[in-house]
Structure 1
Amino acid sequence: MKNNEMEKLVRIALENGRDYSEVQTIKKIKGGSINEAYYVQTIDAEFFMKFHANAPKFFFKSEATGLRLLKETNTISVPSFLSYSDQPGRGFLLLEWIEGRKTDKTEETLGRKLADLHKSFGRLHGFDSDTYIGLLPQPNELNANWLEYYRDKRLGSQLEQGIETGNIEGKRRKQLEKLLETLDEWIPSFVEPSHLHGDLYSGNWIVGPGGEPYIVDPSFLYGDRHFELAYTELFGGFPSKFYEAYNENYPLRKEYEDIKPLYQLYYLMAHLNLFGEMYGEQIDQILDKYIGENF
């Protein structure tokens, strides 16, 4: 977006957020592969602004809702949002600016506070509106049965999208269809529906003042906390003291290692549908493990 157009949009975002102080600086910064990112400074405060000219329906509303629900647990730090818009051509999310330096306690604090978040429960699994993982739609529903939700709305939806795009076919498709039929052998039906960030990999947390960890970019849902933990171990993972602090605060169930690959499967399928075959080998290894190579 051109500088003068961005300045107008920033002013709209500030007015919507009830911050009327004069804009002093708008600077484009690095902020991920999906949205344009901007540092905004006014006389009174600093902000982080995401912009996407072609954001899908309710894209930024979904993220803002997730931030609000996480913040309301009073367990783990998340940025406050001031305003958002999903209007065509001017989609944005305006957040408080978070900046700080990591300390030797930061990762330990993140693990402990994530466990506190997971001790906050909803009534049902899933969510009452659709969300996104990246720009990929994530259909949702509320369901008392975690197995049904995970099978139908998570793995099942990615299977459908993969078939449509041609990323899932042949042996891979047959194995996945068989896995969904037999998923109850591994995934529990009734567990407590924790508040989950929903997209918590190593790139979705930052450091704030005093070394305080903040989680960002949620794709919120209620669900089995082990689903969240499994994803933290993909794509670089988290340091050992993070897991030690989490497990000390909220010990993992004994079957976690047995179901972890099945929870990682969802995120690998989503990445397959987003980015292509580079994630296919990991998916096939999981399917061979649970369904068998000679299926």
Structure 2
Amino acid sequence: MNPFIGTALQQAGDDSPLRQKKRVTGGSINASYFVETAQASYFIKYHPDAPAHFFELEAKGLELIRQTASIFVPKVYTYSDEENNAFLVMEWIDGKRSRDTEWKLGDRVARMHQTFAEKHGLTVDTFIGTLPQPNGLFSSWLDYYRDRRLTAQLELGIERGSITGKRRDRLEKLMENLDRWVPDDVAPSYLHGDLWGGNWLSGPGGDPYVIDPSFLYGDRHFELAFTELFGGYSVDFYKAYQDRFPLSPDYEDVKPLYQLYYLLVHLNIFGEVYGPAVDTILKRYSG
């Protein structure tokens, strides 16, 4: 047994005999395991070089979502951000997706978005993938989105050489004129923050669970735009969402600008394969 799994189980308060352990898929960042003991079944993530507070922030995001009483999240048993031994221990979620599950997912994400904070952003800095995500609390969603989300990716892209020349000029011009499309006074919803199609599961009884948040308070349309970027959501998801919390008439105009942030993140992590998609949006709004 991997030494960290024994440590993780002990820290979770489970000293019962191990029945099985196997490596499972769980994203590209962490090593993920299904672990079954005589007491319970667990999903354990391990990252040997995790940044400081990496799993603490994930656990905090799950707890903030849980507090909305809108959608299920896995129970977090324990975590560690100790250097060279960072892990997160959660309950194992197992179930089958169905059309009803997708409808429930749309309805419950909308209910989460109907939980509001006083300001946009978050009191602590977080991560998107393993990239640092600076935060802070802002009265203006426009200011937060421009000065924290887009600026962080612009500066990182300049540093890494992925945002140069016309791409840089267009992005900077877009940011100067962002108030033409991005609202200033939208209500700050509770947002998962990284809601791509792989970050939800079907649990017992077909109930949906969300996982791996990069939590923030912000414009709910930012979250919905990301769900459309890489797919993974059915027509039933969007119908249920609309029934519970109809989208703004301006959503289609602002959607590409919200997808731009996630494309910049992927550009800065994975490279130029995402460059053409970034350039298409920049040309549309500042070409």
Normalising by structure 2, we get a TM-score of: 0.98
On the 8 A contact 1:77/1:213 being kept in 2, the answer is: yes
Residue 98 in structure 1 maps to residue 101 in structure 2: no
Q: Distance in 1 between matches of 2:207 and 2:189?
A: 22
Partner letter of residue 75 of structure 2?
Answer: S
Percent pairwise identity: 54
Match of 1:270 in 2: 265
Q: Distance in 1 between matches of 2:251 and 2:8?
A: 43
Among residues 97, 114, 118, which one is paired with 1:123 in the alignment?
A: 118
Q: SS where residue 273 of structure 2 aligns?
A: helix
Runs of at least 4 residues of structure 1 off by over 4 A? none
Q: CA deviation at 1:237?
A: 4.1
Match of 2:19 in 1: 24
Residue 285 in structure 1 maps to residue 286 in structure 2: no
1:92-127 alpha-carbon deviations (Å, 9 max, x no partner): 000100001122201010000000000011111001
Question: Which consecutive unaligned segments of at least 5 residues does structure 2 have?
Answer: none
Q: SS where residue 78 of structure 2 aligns?
A: strand
**1:44-59 → structure 2 map (5 Å cutoff):** 44-59=39-54
Q: SS where residue 18 of structure 1 aligns?
A: coil
Among residues 155, 159, 163, which one is paired with 1:164 in the alignment?
A: 159
On the 8 A contact 1:14/1:82 being kept in 2, the answer is: no
Q: CA deviation at 1:9?
A: 2.1
Q: Distance in 2 between matches of 1:77 and 1:22?
A: 29
Q: SS where residue 99 of structure 2 aligns?
A: coil
Match of 2:142 in 1: 147
Q: Distance in 2 between matches of 1:71 and 1:20?
A: 27
Residue 66 in structure 1 maps to residue 61 in structure 2: yes
- Please report the RMSD computed on the Cα atoms of aligned residues, expressed in angstroms: 1.0
Match of 1:38 in 2: 33
Q: SS where residue 177 of structure 2 aligns?
A: helix
Match of 1:12 in 2: 7
Question: Which consecutive unaligned segments of at least 5 residues does structure 1 have?
Answer: none
1:193-223 alpha-carbon deviations (Å, 9 max, x no partner): 1110000011111111111111111000000
